[in-house]
Amino acid sequence: MAGDRRCIGVFDSGIGGLTVVRELRRRLPHEEIVYFGDTARVPYGIKSAETVTRFARENCDFLLRFDPKMIVVACNTASAAALPALEGTLPIPMCGVVEPGAREAVLLGRGQTIAVIATEATIASDAYRRAMKQYDPHVRVIQRPCPLFVPLAEEGRPSSDPIVKAVVEDYLEPIVRLDPKVLVLGCTHYPLLKEAIAEVTGPEVKLVDSGEQTARAVAEQLTAGGALSDRTGRARLRCYVSDNPQRFRELGQRFLDHAVVDVTWISPEQFFASDVTTVAQHA
Closer residue to a copy of itself, CB minimum distance, 173 or 230: 173
Q: Does residue 228 interact with a copy of itself by CB under 8 A?
A: no
Q: What element of type H or E holds 209?
A: strand 206-209
Distance set, CA 249 to CA 211, 256, 262 (Å): 20, 10, 9
Q: Does residue 144 interact with a copy of itself by CB under 8 A?
A: no
- Could you tell me which stretch among 21-29, 40-48, 184-192, 255-263 binds a copy of itself (CB under 8 A)? 40-48
The values of phi and psi at residue 243, to 5°, are -160, 155
Binding mask 232-261 toward a copy of itself (x if CB under 8 A, else -) reads ----------xxx--x--------------
- Could you tell me which stretch among 132-140, 142-150, 208-216, 252-260 binds a copy of itself (CB under 8 A)? 142-150
Taking the alpha carbons of 117, 122, 124, 128 in that order, is the dihedral positive or negative?
A: negative
Task: Check if 60 is active-site.
Answer: no
Q: Does residue 143 interact with a copy of itself by CB under 8 A?
A: no
Taking every pair of C-alpha atoms in the chain, what is the biggest distance, in angstroms? 56
The values of phi and psi at residue 207, to 5°, are -95, 130
Q: Binder to a copy of itself among 61, 67, 170, 250 (CB under 8 A)? A: 170
- Please pick, among 7, 60, 75, 239, the residue that the annotation labels catalytic: 75
Closer residue to a copy of itself, CB minimum distance, 200 or 235: 200
Strand pairing class (70-73; 94-96): parallel
Task: Check if 75 is active-site.
Answer: yes
- Please pick, among 95, 146, 187, 239, the residue that the annotation labels catalytic: 187
Q: Binder to a copy of itself among 33, 34, 167, 239 (CB under 8 A)? A: 167
Measured N-to-C along each axis, helices 76-86 and 127-135 cross at an angle, to the nearest 10 degrees, of 70
Alpha helix segments (H runs only) across 28-161: 49-64, 76-86, 98-109, 120-125, 127-135, 149-154
Q: Does residue 39 interact with a copy of itself by CB under 8 A?
A: yes
Measured N-to-C along each axis, helices 210-224 and 98-109 cross at an angle, to the nearest 10 degrees, of 110
What residue ranges bind a copy of itself (CB under 8 A)? 39-42, 46-48, 51, 54, 147-148, 150-152, 154-155, 162-163, 166-167, 170, 242-244, 247, 268
Active site residues: 75, 187
